[in-house]
Structure 1
């Protein structure tokens, strides 16, 4: 059975708006390393459209820094599932699923392999409620943005989820990676 990991960059005040802050080279290297264990990415439509085609273009044309190019190459090499009712076609290693994200993720989790990385704030409450997220890898950036999409909205969980901190990584930029396991 695969491990399901939720990974996200967030501001100190809990927002996930990637247009408000940029990960440092060290943080990109950290995420590239975490992707070495991942054999499937599970996206919502919004996050998919945020990440691709930007990173696909960087991977193909090598237009970023060395760290950005390595991240882009690793990210785009991994197979993807995108939950979407509106997208019609995607690239070769991406499959669209139209409904029932928790059921789909459960099927995928039961297949052999290493890890599924979930990158979707909109799907997070449903996937937590279904008990499908095994670990959380959050990188907190030293900025307060006061706007954007929060990691969770008030009332989005029916009950609290207790986590156990298993690792932290502090970066020179002031960002901190927090790795939690579900208890």
Structure 2
């Protein structure tokens, strides 16, 4: 069975916001490394539209830093599934499949297929996917900032029961961020 990994940037107070900081080269290399054994990205519509076409354009144009270009190349090469009731894709996008409903059932089906790791990148689906027991590992990159507002990683009351995790790795970056890698117990 494939491993499902959830990766997200968060503030010290648990908010997820892509504008909280500029990652810099060291952190971009970390993100590229987290995708070494990933062969499928599983997104919600909002995260998909945030990440694409931006990184696809960087991959084509090589318009970022060396670290951003490496990330963009790796990220854009991976097949992806997007859960959305409204998103329509260009006909030339052969790497993306849209799922219209029931993300937990779809992810379970994908998890049972042969292949590499599946990377989940969706805060909106996280409570449902945790509740279904589908997330095997968490990579949380904690930024040294307190946001005080925004979207929480997990809204209060969104889980029916607690999820015990085991910390297996910690990486401290020069920019003050800390990457925490947890496995589900």
State if a TM-score over 0.5 links the two structures.
yes
**How far apart in 2 are the matches of 1:83 and 1:128?**
16
Query: 2:15 aligns to what SS in structure 1?
Result: coil
Aligned Cα RMSD in Å? 0.8
- Equivalences for 1:94-133 in 2 at 5 Å? 94-133=96-135
Partner of 1:177: 179
Task: Give the structure 2 partner of residue 167 of structure 1.
Answer: 169
What does residue 143 of structure 1 align with?
A: 145
Task: Report how many residues are paired.
Answer: 183
Tell me which residue corresponds to 2:20: 20
* Deviating 4+ runs (over 4 angstroms): none
Question: 1:112 aligns to what SS in structure 2?
Answer: coil
Cα deviation 1:22-42 (Å, max 9, x = unaligned): 212111100101101100000
Aligned equivalents of 1:19 and 1:140: distance in 2?
13
- Confirm or deny that 1:43 pairs with 2:74: no
Task: Using structure 1 for the length normalisation, give the TM-score.
Answer: 0.98
List per-residue Cα deviations over 1:88-112 (Å, max 9, x = no partner): 1142200000000000000000011
Deviation per residue, 1:2-25 (Å, 9 max, x gap): 000000111111111102222121
Gaps of 5+ in 1: none
The corresponding residue for 1:156 is 158
User: Equivalent residue of 1:25, what SS?
Assistant: helix
Aligned residue for 1:32? 32
Secondary structure, aligned partner of 1:179: strand
Report the secondary structure of 1:74's partner residue: helix
Report how far residue 113 of structure 1 moved.
Answer: 1.3
SS in 2 for 1:160: coil
In 1, Cα distance between the equivalents of 2:81 and 2:97?
Answer: 5
- Deviation by residue 1:133-179 (Cα, 9 ceiling, x = unmatched): 00000110111121211101001001110100000111111100000
**Aligned partners of 1:22 and 1:146: how far apart in 2?**
18
